[in-house]
A = this chain, B = another copy of it.
Amino acid sequence: MKQIVVHEVGPRDGLQMERQVVPTDTKEDWIRRTMESGVDIVQVGSFVHPVKVPQMADTDELIRRLLRDKRSPVILAGLALNKRGLERGLECGVEMFALGASASETHSIKNTGMASMDAVHRIIAAGQEAMAAGKKVQVSVQSAFGCGFEGPVSEVRVLEMAAAYVEAGLFSISLADTAGHAHPAQVERLFSAVLELDPKVECTGHFHNTYGLGMANIMAALRVGVTSFETSFAGLGGCPFTKVAAGNVATEDFVNALQLQGLRQNIDLGSLIRVAGDVARYFDREMPGCVYKTGSIQNRESV
């Protein structure tokens, strides 16, 4: 079995939702400690308009700081939604681009001002340019399982978007349950269909816990061959342009679940728990994550 990839999106998907702008030094501390824990990818921020999303204005600066003395194999990623974002990422040296378009027309227009398939074509152009520049690229279909505005999202549309990515040579595909509408049967069906598009396809799952199904959806995706997951420290998260968004599955809860099942013992769960605890203390509220509150299971050997 391929090693499951843990992709921390708290600094991006988590912090973009917070009214409070976290100082760059604090972010840097949380990210450095997350990097040291042994996760595989950290999404440091997004290259979006600093006036629209001031929480992400320091993404370029953070990438520069983290690259300066980087020795760990963790990949530093940034989210871009357009050409300008791509340019900023290339300038600051980000190692991986997360590029995405929404399967919901309403969400797509609100997020990017473009219809879904127009956004896909822009994303493909950006992805190809990033690959040509030697960067890793992950392309996503946002709102792939339902939309807070529109309700159900057409699975045919999601597959069309994924097929367009594949045809363009972009094989690392994330399906994001932006609104948290996904349920396990749907997750199994849709990821299986995307994985069948081409043997080169590698899928990433991204699940919000709006209706309490985030972890169940991760487990469903794991079962059908999804090998990479985006999660957020302490369970922070949500998209500012969707309705009733709730947090992502908490990274430390996910890693605990993997380790209970004998996977990813090479990640330092204690260190992730400490970061999540610091994030919760910083915002001074109880976060959705469980394991940062309870600690990992004591006296538990694998059974």
Contact = CB atoms under 8 A, between A and B. Distances in A.
A210 B152 contact: no
Interface string A270-290: 000000000000000010011
Contacts of A260: 181, 183, 186, 211, 213
B211 A256 contact: yes
Contact of A211 (B151, B261, B290): B290
A257 B183 contact: yes
A17 to B, nearest CB: 15
Interface in A215-247: 215-216, 218-220, 244, 246
Contacts of A210: 290, 294
B303 A186 contact: yes
Chain A binding surface SS class: loop
B185 A261 contact: yes
Contact of A297 (B151, B209, B253, B286): B151
Given A152-B301, A183-B261, A253 B211 contact: yes
A146 interface: yes
A303 B156 CA distance: 11
Given A151-B298, A244-B294, A294-B244, A146 B303 contact: yes
A5 to B, nearest CB: 19
B150 A299 contact: yes
A160 interface: no
A152 B303 contact: yes
A93 interface: no
A81 interface: no
A28 interface: no
A194 interface: no
B300 A151 contact: yes
A146 B294 CA distance: 15
Nearest to A210: B294
Contacts of A249: 212
Given A146-B303, A212-B290, 20 more contacts: A146-B297, A146-B300, A148-B298, A151-B297, A151-B299, A152-B301, A152-B303, A155-B303, A181-B300, A183-B257, A211-B256, A211-B260, A211-B296, A212-B215, A212-B253, A212-B256, A212-B289, A213-B257, A215-B215, A216-B218
